Amino acid sequence: MSDIKADVFLDITNLVCPMTFVKAKATMEDMEVGQIIEIRMNESEPIQNVPRSLKEEGHEILKVINNNDGTYTVFVKKGGQE
Amino acid sequence: MKEVNYNELKKGGFMRQVQKGYFSMRLRVVGGRLSAEQLKKIYEVANKYGRGYIHLTARQGVEIPFIKLEDIEAVKKELSEAGIEPGACGPRVRTITACQGSSICPNGIIDTTELANECDKRYYAQELPHKFKIGITGCGNNCLKAEENDLGIKGAVKPEWEKSNCTFCGLCQAVCPTKAIQIDEKNKEITIDRDKCTYCGRCVKSCPTNSWKGKPGYLLYFGGMFGNNIALGKQILPILFSKEDVHKVIQATLEFYKKYGKQGERFRNTIERVGWDIFKKELEKAIENERGDLDE
Ligand code: SF4
Ligand code: SF4
Ligand code: SF4
């Protein structure tokens, strides 16, 4: 597992594009700047697009872990003014 | 009634229908883009001269069916006032198709609209032995299916890794569709298998620390066709980084086709008959003139 401690956990493995990104974005809006979210998502389309879109929104991707079961866990730090 | 020159009509985008005396009019659309004003004019013409509908073709074309022979001149005039020209049919360079590309689509690597407009200006409706299709797609997702065209262009990136900012987060390895990237977190190294890399640019777009840099470029595909005979276009040149090189290659391709192609022979068959190696040499000559060598 990872040494990063998350403040929020989100599972978007049951969603399809574009709801994967929308759900992640909406959840992060309720977080404080600097807090960390752990998002579990499916491989292929979500892993290709969700982290990248979050980066474009100004958040920081800290770590990506391949769970080797068709899913990835991604740690993201909320960006913006501290 | 004066004699009708069907060939002239066809050249000008009017295709004879099953129904006697009626024509379906093909319009000139570049890169799949029409202004709202143009659409409004098309709507008016389809209502006034056609049957109140249009047909969208498989290659981003717009056709207005059921135009009467005697209305053709009036229709042409009305459309041209709104800046819409008839499209090309027959043995010539057809509609340049393009996806939305980097100016709209977050995946886009090249500005497809700009390139489509340039190609339209330079090559559209040039006379050739047979129809010739050019299609431009902004990235490896290939929404515009580059390989289906006689000449297809695809946005691409050649990635280079820089260690300095890399946090070894693992994202590039996770997004690479061909598993070309290997992260060695212990030794703080990342390796890329160049033979596996398809220049899709996902690593560059995704990296949170911009540790992957990439030069945007163009992959070209030749000899695709999707009619009675089906063949996928082949990538025979390395990635090109300059748009001027792309134009030189297109120019050389059209010249090759004009020089060697037999009337009614699709471009693919011309290449097969004359030889891929000869074709490739002509293309290389076109770009080597100035640079002396090719980037790999
Ligand atoms: S080919 Fe790429 S750039 Fe073009 S529309 Fe598809 S995803 Fe976007
Ligand atoms: S995505 Fe960027 S920061 Fe993350 S491992 Fe790859 S190169 Fe390093
Ligand atoms: S450009 Fe695409 S295929 Fe090449 S290494 Fe990057 S992600 Fe993998």
> Is B7's pLDDT higher than 90?
no
Strand, coil or helix: what is A3?
coil
**A51 CA: distance to closest CA in chain B (Å):** 7
In this prediction, residue B10 carries a pLDDT of: 72
Average pLDDT across chain A, whole number: 93
Are residues B124 and B88 in contact, defined by beta-carbon separation less than 8 angstroms? yes
Which chain B residues touch A51 with a CB distance below 8 Å? 171, 175, 206, 208
Which chain B residues touch A56 with a CB distance below 8 Å? 106
Residues B108-138: tens digit of each pLDDT: 999 999 999 999 999 999 999 999 999 999 9
Q: Is A17 a catalytic residue?
A: yes
DSSP state, B19? S
Percentage of residues in chain B with pLDDT exceeding 90?
Answer: 90
Residues B56-109: tens digit of each pLDDT: 999 999 999 999 999 999 999 999 999 999 998 899 999 999 999 999 999 999
How far away, in angstroms, is B143 Cα from ligand 1 center?
5
In this prediction, residue B6 carries a pLDDT of: 75
Q: Give the closest ligand to the alpha carbon of residue B167.
A: 2
Question: What pTM did the predictor assign?
Answer: 0.91
Task: Enumerate residues 188 to 207 of chain B having a beta carbon within 8 A of any beta carbon in chain A.
Answer: 202, 205-206
Cis peptide before A18 (omega within 30 of 0): yes
Options A4, A16, A17, A19, the catalytic residue: A17
Residues B42-54: tens digit of each pLDDT: 999 999 999 999 9
N-term to C-term CA, chain A: 28
CA distances from A23 to A19, B76, B196, B208, B212 (A): 6, 50, 34, 20, 28
Question: Considering CB atoms only, which of B167, B174, B208 is closest to A55?
Answer: B208
User: Do A66 and B174 make contact, defined as CB atoms within 8 angstroms?
Assistant: yes
Q: Whose CA is nearest to atom 8 of ligand 3?
A: B176
Ligand 1 atom nearest to CA at B102: 3
pLDDT band of residue B290 (cuts 50, 70, 90) is low
Which ipTM score applies to this complex?
Answer: 0.89
Give the 3-state secondary structure percentages of chain A, helix then strand then coil, rounded to 5: 30, 30, 40
